Amino acid sequence: TNARCLGLFVAALFVFKIDVIISQSFSSARRNLENTPNHILVKSKSQETDDSIPVVLVNGTFHRHFILSWGDDRGKIHENGELLTLSLDKLSGSGFQSKKEYLFAKIEMQIKLVPGNSAGTVTTFYLSSQGNKHDEIDFEFLGNSTGNPYTIHTNIFSLGQGNREQQFFLWFDPTADYHTYSILWNPKCIIFYVDGTPIREYKNAEKIGVPFPKYQPMRLYSSLWNADDWATQGGRVKTNWKLAPFIASYKNFTYEACIYSRLTSSSSCNIDSPPFGNNAWLSHELDRRSRAKMKILQKKHMIYDYCMDKWRFPKGPAPECRLQ
């Protein structure tokens, strides 16, 4: 009996590690999908064909800061620009992106994830630059069967290199109400927060030769798409299209950021001249109490840490792991 239980445990662990590897390999596929707009909503069809119909510009948060970048009309802005929804059906998912690029930012978004049986679906919320050697800071929310917890998948890319995954089971129902997901990105560190509580800190390890996302401006992206070939239990649980459309909702976007200008190739912040005054977030790091609180949360809810994975990294953990 003990041998049988051990065998089942090893098999489950193997499948989970395969899930992580597949998730990493599909990141580039997701980026290609999300960065290929097939329809940007500017006017309705009636407005495009009849100049007598006025174009009403609503100055809401989502109108000001984002464009619906792909998915035809599956992405929608409601409530005078203060609510945005993305939907997924069998034909396509949808996504949006920020109008501006940032070179360091503190961003927050309240998100209500796909309710019910969300197996096979992935909701993303991330910063990314462009190009083969891109930088990226990822929140990905992997759906699951009804009653099972969502998985938060986090990853960090620098110069095109990822493989820095940490995953957590959410300790609440992220579909019952809105919860706040935040990314702090400054020259010293990257911190992921859920409802104001840090769940991960990634420190700048340039001093030991590890590239850090520091020089490439990034846009904020979010999307809802189908990944049932890997997202839920290694692809064994497929998306139930009878439940479509699947919908994720967004509100209360706030940010502090260094806005990057392509025209001048410069940022709105002078990061070389601290102190930063009202931009104190540019030098923020977790203090001892916050880091201790994060470690307790990780002990309870973290289900994968690349720094502890001897199976994927038999030569030992990445150099930056000693600083985390």
Active site residues: 136, 140
Strand duo 121-128 + 136-142: pairing = antiparallel
CA nearest neighbour of 223 among 85, 110, 103, 118: 85
CA nearest neighbour of 184 among 207, 200, 165: 200
CA nearest neighbour of 281 among 292, 295, 271, 268: 271
| Residue reference for tokens 């759906």 | 143
SS3 label, residue 10: helix
Helices and strands per DSSP (H, E), number in the chain: 4, 16
CA nearest neighbour of 59 among 44, 47, 77, 36: 77
One-character DSSP codes across 151-166:
EEEEEEEBTTB----E
Three-state SS sequence of 27-45 = HHHHHHHHCCCCCCCCCCH
